[in-house]
Structures are given as C-alpha cells and as structure tokens.
C-alpha cells in the first residue's frame, strides 16, 4: 500500500512565474540544507521548466546567483538519456548550458550520469558514485536534500515510464531502463531513492498535463499506468509547483501569503 502523504501545490499564473517559484524553492532549500548539515545534495531533472529555472539561478541580474551557497552544493541527476554529454538530448548538456557554465560550482561537485556508456555500465557506475559520495554502507539509501522532478503527459517521472521494468526495482539505487514506447534506453534513479529525499518537488506546467495530473493525484492508485503515483516521500510531504493550466482540474487553491499565486493541499492515503 502507498504511504500517506500531504501534497502542497503552489499555482502560479504562467510559465515565467513557475520558473521563478522554482528558483526561489531551490535557493531556499539549498540554503536550509547547508545551514543544517554543512552541505546540500540536489538531484536535477531535464525539461523546459527546469531550464528556465536554471537560467534564473545563473542570471547575474537576479538575486539567486548570490543567494545560493554554491561552494557547499553537490549536484546530481535524476535521470539521463543514453547519449553523450555533447548531444542535444542530454540532460547534462542542457543544465550545463543554462546554468553550470555560469555559476561558481566546482567541477568535482558536479556528478553527471555517463549517458555515452552502455546503459547498464552507466547505471552501475552512477550507483557507485552515490555510494562513494554519500559514504553509504551495505544496503543504505542516499538521502538527497532536494530532488526536482517533472511529469510527462503519460504520467511518467524521472525515467520511470509506464509498464517498464524499473517500476519493479526495490533494491538498486540506479537502473538502466528500456523504454519500448520510445525505443530507447534511459538511466534513472529508482523510486525508493527518490522517496528517501528530504524534499521532493514536481515542476509541472501546460494544458497537456491537466488531465494526467488530476488522474495521478485524484484517480485510483495505478502506478504501472501512472508511475508518478509511486512518489510518496518518506517525509510525508510532497511539493508541486504548477501553472494555472496544469492545475485546472485540481481543487481550487486559495491566495497564498508566502508565495506568488495560490496554494492548495491534498491528503493522499
């Protein structure tokens, strides 16, 4: 049975406002982690919404570049395509062009998935990276301070696609996942690892996500069909940063006093 979780969703008026809310969330989460534990470990996803957030974080005209404690931050990836880091489809390349090449983050704090390798080899090597950098022993699972996720039109998240083998993986940290519907391989964190993070947030926008977001949150529990339903953090809390289009079929949020836009909550049992 899925664990109960409180979903807090912040609804911004447009894509630009979602990106700004995400940059604020990133900055505050990283700063809080560094204040509490001396460093922050964050796993990133690809996509157009995080790209806009990355650009804001790196923009010298914005406050985030100075607010984020870059010298105490380690960056990881949630998933990656089976392509070299120079490929246009590479999540790493997008992040590097939008943010990494513009911020004072040391190269040894950037832990990319090696999409150019055989997917099984890349997954094994990334699991070793996690075990070494988090100093894990035995069957321990890494605890990220923040994991940022997206959600596809089909309800997938990370590279956990509907009806694929990775949905059944409970013990490994990272797997190579064959995605028949895209005729490709992906490398991805497993959902138990994602659920162990202290903060987990989805960045979702667009009318194409309206119905699937409703089904994921308010429909029957069918994680083989909607893998995003597997994301039930052990912390008992899940954050969604949405625009008005993607949130159109959720319960009406109320104006927020703490963030731009409106906020709603859902209790998932």
- Convert the pLDDT of each residue in 208-259 to its tens digit: 999 999 999 999 999 999 999 999 999 999 999 999 999 999 999 998 766 6
Identify the bridge partners of residue 75 per DSSP, sorted by sequence position: 42, 110
pTM of the predicted structure, to 2 decimals: 0.97
Q: Supply 54's token pair.
A: 């990355």
Nearest C-alpha neighbor of 18 from the set 217, 244, 235: 244
- The domains of the chain are located at 5-112+143-164+196-268
pLDDT value of residue 261: 84
pLDDT value of residue 258: 64
Q: Which regions in the chain score pLDDT beneath 50?
A: none
pLDDT value of residue 2: 87
Distance, CA of 44 to CA of 92 (rounded, Å): 9
pLDDT value of residue 47: 87
- CATH architecture under which domain 5-112+143-164+196-268 falls: 3-Layer(aba) Sandwich (3.40)
pLDDT value of residue 259: 64
What are the residues whose beta carbons fall under 8 Å from the beta carbon of 208, sequence distance 6 or more? 153
Per-residue pLDDT tens digits for 7-21: 999 999 999 999 999
pLDDT value of residue 256: 76
């Amino acid at each position: 049975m899925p664990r109960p979780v409180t979903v807090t969703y912040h609804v911004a008026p447009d894509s630009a406002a979602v990106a700004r809310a995400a940059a604020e969330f990133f900055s505050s989460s990283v700063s809080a982690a560094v204040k509490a534990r001396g460093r922050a470990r964050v796993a990133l996803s690809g996509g157009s919404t995080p790209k806009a957030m990355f650009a804001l974080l790196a923009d010298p005209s914005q406050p985030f570049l100075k607010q984020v404690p870059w010298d105490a931050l380690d960056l990881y990836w949630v998933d990656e395509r089976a392509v070299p880091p120079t490929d246009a489809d590479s999540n790493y390349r997008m992040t590097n062009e939008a943010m990494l090449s513009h911020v004072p983050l040391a190269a040894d704090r950037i832990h990319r998935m090696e999409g150019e390798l055989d997917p099984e080899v890349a997954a094994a090597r990334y699991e070793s990276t996690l075990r070494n950098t988090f100093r894990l022993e035995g069957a321990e699972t890494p605890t990220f301070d923040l994991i940022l996720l997206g959600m596809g039109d089909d309800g997938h998240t990370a590279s956990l696609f509907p009806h694929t083998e990775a949905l059944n993986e409970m013990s490994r940290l990272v797997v190579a996942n064959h995605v028949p519907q895209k005729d490709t391989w992906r490398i991805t964190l497993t959902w138990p690892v994602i659920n162990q993070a202290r903060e987990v947030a989805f960045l979702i926008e667009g009318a194409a996500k309206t119905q699937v977001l409703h089904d994921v949150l308010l429909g029957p529990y069918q994680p083989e069909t909607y893998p995003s339903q597997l994301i039930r953090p052990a912390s008992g809390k899940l954050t969604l940063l949405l625009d008005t289009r993607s949130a159109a079929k959720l319960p009406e949020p109320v104006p927020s006093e703490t963030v731009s836009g409106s906020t709603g909550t859902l209790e998932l049992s």
